[in-house]
Amino acid sequence: MTPTPDPETAAPDDLPVVRLKPKANARAIRRGFPWVYADELVTDRRTKALAPGTIARLEDAERKPLARVALNPNSRIIARVLDRDGRGIPDHDWFVARLKRALALRERLYDTPFYRLVHAEADGLPGVVIDRFGDTAVIQPNAAWSDLLIAPLAHALAEVTGVTTILKNAGSRGRSLEGLDDTDIVLAGAAPEAPVPVDMNGATYMADLTGGQKTGLFYDQRENQAFAARLARGQDVLDVFSHVGGFALAALAAGATRALAVDASAPALDLARAGAEAAGAGERFETRQGDAFDVLTALGAEDTRFGLVICDPPAFAPAKPALEAGLRAYERVARLSAPLVAPGGCLVLCSCSHAADLATFQGACLRGIGRAGRRAQLIHTGQAGPDHPLLPQLAESGYLKALFFRL
């Protein structure tokens, strides 16, 4: 058996070759689809023996070249497309080129260095997420190839952006699906000892880059939080599943009368309060820790009403097997939150579930609102911000949905 070439040193001609099965959709790959599933690839003994992260040449069933791919024989997504011109290989110059292209977009979008710098497949780095927090960047290498090449990726990242601290976050669900570890590492500089303040939408957020959820802050809701803030002026606001106060703090910055943030995590609510106080809005900000469904039920019993209610839960349907249960959970959120909205007020319902498309999610929300005895106008539909670009060929990249209803 031929030894597996080292992807850091192998010349393109030295790369192993893998081939699609005759019934696999080679046309989809040529048109931009970035994944090959395990049942689409010829997986003989040689292919199965390739190490996770191996870079290979992909051919169609007729042996015509398709792309350079990164392999993981242990994953359902057995190959991820890296380069369609058939020549590129992920070395230092390749990383620099991809990162420069990603950075150019973000610098056109934002005046401050706080954004998602790399959004995986849409930025040509499949499985890789990089969030920037000023001079610090957090990398989530959620595919085997990027975990193997984390050192040259980090080196290129420092060169392109000038960040001095780079952290590897290994806590994502995707890493477990790839058979990767969950060990966080400091790749450059020193991990921040305190939360990093992030100015966004006129508010100050405290991002815990080492102990918080995901990379420390959810940048994807930036545009939706800004739209919600327009509806919050002069209103009492309820932010459920608030994390570090994403919607509540933006609402306070826009002139909300007061805001109540609800979350199960006490540390997240502590960060939310610190953000409110940093912005001088501490006196208008309250928190309530507990299970969101229990708190919504309790607020309903208290006959409390708000001019704006936002519910931004975690992914109830992260994959198709969980879809039906997830839709029931979204319907329940809508049913419990709708009665808390004052007449003429607004309800914002969000989903980050890949498996629930927009129409299906909207249907669940409307069933819940209807069962609460309310009628709704849909006034706006939001998605992830432009630093989370959508790859049109990959439906999963359009995961975030935000529905703005007037009740």
Q: Which residues are catalytic?
A: 352
Which DSSP state fits 2?
P
Strand partners, 197: 206
Helix (H) or strand (E) holding 37: strand 35-37
Outline where DSSP puts E strands in 87-162. Answer: 114-119, 128-133, 136-141
Q: What is the DSSP string of 257-284?
A: SEEEEEES-HHHHHHHHHHHHHTT-GGG
Distance, in Å, from the CA atom of 287 to the CA atom of 266, rounded to the nearest integer, reads 9
**Token output for 73:** 């024989």
Find, among 311, 303, 293, the residue nearest to 352 by Cα: 311
Q: What is the DSSP letter of 41?
A: B
| Residue whose pair of structure tokens reads 């049913």 in the numeric block | 335
Q: Which of 143, 147, 145, 192 is nearest to 167 (CA)?
A: 192
The token pair that represents 34 in the structure block: 């970035």
CB atoms within 10 A of CB 367: 17
Which residues are CB-neighbours of 45 under 8 A, at least 6 positions away? 1
CB 280 within 8 A of CB 249: no
Instruction: Please say whether the beta carbons of 316 and 326 come within 8 A.
Output: yes
